[in-house]
């Protein structure tokens, strides 16, 4: 029995959640059809599907032909027509609570990439990222969605120095309004697990682009293949509760320790080393440049806006 999204046990995508009051944790139970597959609708929602990572995952998370799985892709931007019978396209502003409620209807799991992905004035961040992620979890609660993979960011810990080594338990030190919104998203994830049993894997993504653009990204780079494997493991691993994992490839000078997320069984395969000569041909970065000091790099020095 394979999961068309992950090649792993399909059961993890369609859990029925039961509260174990003695342990005060939610445990997962699975119901199966006569064909051995898990019952219930089989629909994965991908938000932010028009963005850089959304375009990658739209293709890579597409269900295999011949299955009855569906991928529902959504964005505030145009996504074009559905790419086949396995795909549904829903244009939706995450800040619109009613629209987001309808967006979650019938979904089993969500990969939540949608929102503003850079530092911007708080008024913009609040709508797409704070209200938007709240609307997403409310929709998930109302429609019985059991699993969210949340695109958090390294900017929740951006004010740590590059000389420090961090695990998932460190105090968050957001480096701007954007980082604060991702920090709020992680808190929402924890709350909706503790209160409602909705499981989340929060991915503190480093820099996921075709290649690292600068020296800082030699540490933070996450290849698209490693990202895809991380998302697949996050969807299919049972009993994740709220797991926080850093998303970086197996780079030489990685700053992050993922021992607390070992249960995801994710091991990055790629490394930024193959780009070192190209990146180091760039002019050197001054020692007092935030890009050389802080894990969040230039984000630590952006804003405030409009003063
Ligand atoms: P992106 O900016 O290319 O894509 C974000 C998408 O969200 C866009 O298509 C945009 O139209 C959509 N969006 C914005 N506001 C929206 C709203 N109100 N309603 C619905 N959709 C809205 O960003 P990218 O690079 O694809 O990143 C995806 C996610 O991963 C983002 O949440 C970002 O914060 C996070 N992330 C990405 C990293 C990277 O290196 N690419 C690093 C860390 C986090
Ligand atoms: C992020 O969170 C952003 O979404 C992305 O555009 C990059 O800036 C990345 O972090 C980074 O830190 O390199």
* 243 part of a folded domain: yes
pLDDT tens column, 279-293 = 999 999 999 999 999
> What is the Å distance from ligand 2's center to 55 Cα?
16
| In-domain check, residue 261 | yes
The pLDDT score that the predictor gives to residue 22 is 30
| pLDDT band, very low/low/confident/very high, at 133 (cuts 50, 70, 90) | very high
pLDDT in tens, 214-238: 999 999 999 999 999 999 999 999 9
Ligand nearest to the CA of 214: 2
Most confident range (mean pLDDT) of 23-32, 65-74, 266-275 is 266-275
Domain containing residue 197: CATH number = 3.40.50.720
Closest residue by CA, ligand 2 atom 2? 153
- Give the ligand at the shortest distance from the Cα of 155: 2
Is residue 279 one of the residues assigned to a domain? yes
Q: What is the pLDDT of residues 82-113, one digit of tens each?
A: 999 999 999 999 999 999 999 999 999 999 99
The mean pLDDT value for 131-148 works out to: 98
Cα–Cα–Cα angle for 205, 71, 232, rounded to 5 degrees: 40
Q: Which structural domain range is residue 219 located in? A: 40-301
Token output for 202: 């929060």
| Rounded Cα distance, 77 and 80, in Å | 9
Q: Note the pTM of the prediction, 2 decimals.
A: 0.91
51: Cβ below 6 Å to ligand 1?
yes
Q: Judge whether 5 and 44 are in contact, CB under 8 Å.
A: yes
What's the average model confidence in pLDDT over 119-148?
97
Query: Which residues, other chains included, contact 132 with Cβ-Cβ below 8 Å and sequence gap of 6+?
Result: 93, 94, 95, 100, 114, 115
What are 177-216's pLDDT values in tens digits?
999 999 999 999 999 999 999 999 999 999 999 999 999 9
pLDDT at 27: 33
The pLDDT of 32-37, averaged and rounded, is 34
Instruction: Tell me what pLDDT residue 23 has.
Output: 28
The answer to the question of residue 23 being in a domain is no
State pLDDT tens for residues 1-16: 344 444 433 333 333 3
Per the structure, the count of domains in the chain is 1
Nearest CA, atom 13, ligand 2 = 207
CA distance 148 to 66: 25
Kindly state whether residue 2 falls inside one of the protein's structural domains.
no
**Does the residue 20 lie in any domain?**
no
Tell me if 271 CB under 6 Å of ligand 2.
no
Strand partners, 199: 147
Decide if 16 is inside a domain: no
Our answer on whether the CB atom of 52 is closer than 6 Å to any ligand 1 atom is: yes
Q: Tell me what pLDDT residue 11 has.
A: 35
Determine the average pLDDT of the residues in 130-137. 98
Q: Known catalytic residues? A: 178
pLDDT number for residue 26: 31
Cα–Cα dist 240/251, whole Å = 25
Residue 13 has a pLDDT of 39
Contact indicator for 113, 53 with CB cutoff of 8 Å: yes
Instruction: Tell me what pLDDT residue 17 has.
Output: 35
Angle at the Cα of 200 from the Cα atoms of 199 and 206, rounded to 5 degrees? 170
Helices 224-236 & 52-60 angle (0-180, nearest 10): 60
pLDDT average, residue stretch 34-55:
75
Tell me, using a 6 A CB cutoff, whether residue 118 lines ligand 2.
Answer: yes
Q: Is the pLDDT of residue 59 over 70?
A: yes
Residue 269 belongs to some domain of the structure: yes
pLDDT band at 29 (very low <50, low <70, confident <90, very high): very low
């Amino acid at each position: 029995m394979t999961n068309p999204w992950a090649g792993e046990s399909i059961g993890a995508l369609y859990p029925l959640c039961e509260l174990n009051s003695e342990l005060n944790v939610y445990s997962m139970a699975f119901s199966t059809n006569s064909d051995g597959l898990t019952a219930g609708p089989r629909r994965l929602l991908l938000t932010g599907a028009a963005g850089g990572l959304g375009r990658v995952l739209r293709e890579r998370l597409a269900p295999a032909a011949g299955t009855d799985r569906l991928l529902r892709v959504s964005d505030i931007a145009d996504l074009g027509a559905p790419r086949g019978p396995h795909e549904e396209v829903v244009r939706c502003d995450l800040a619109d609570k009613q629209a987001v409620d309808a967006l979650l209807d019938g979904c089993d799991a969500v990969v939540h990439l949608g929102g503003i992905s850079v530092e911007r004035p708080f008024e913009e961040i609040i709508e797409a990222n704070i209200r938007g992620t709240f609307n997403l979890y409310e929709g998930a609660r109302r429609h019985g969605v059991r699993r969210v993979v949340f695109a958090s960011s390294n900017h929740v810990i951006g004010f740590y120095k590059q000389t420090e080594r961090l695990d998932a338990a460190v105090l968050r030190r957001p480096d701007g309004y954007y980082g604060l919104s991702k920090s709020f998203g992680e808190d929402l994830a924890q709350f909706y697990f503790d209160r409602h049993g909705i499981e989340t894997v929060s991915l503190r993504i480093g820099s996921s682009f075709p290649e690292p653009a600068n020296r800082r990204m030699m540490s933070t780079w996450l290849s698209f293949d490693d990202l895809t494997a991380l998302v697949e493991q996050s969807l299919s691993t049972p009993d994740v509760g709220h797991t926080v994992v850093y998303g970086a490839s197996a780079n030489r000078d990685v700053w992050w320790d993922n021992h607390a997320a070992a249960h995801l069984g994710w091991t990055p395969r790629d490394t930024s080393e193959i780009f070192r000569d190209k990146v180091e041909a760039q002019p050197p970065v001054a020692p007092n440049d935030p890009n050389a000091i802080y894990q969040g790099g230039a984000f630590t020095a952006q804003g405030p806006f409009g003063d």
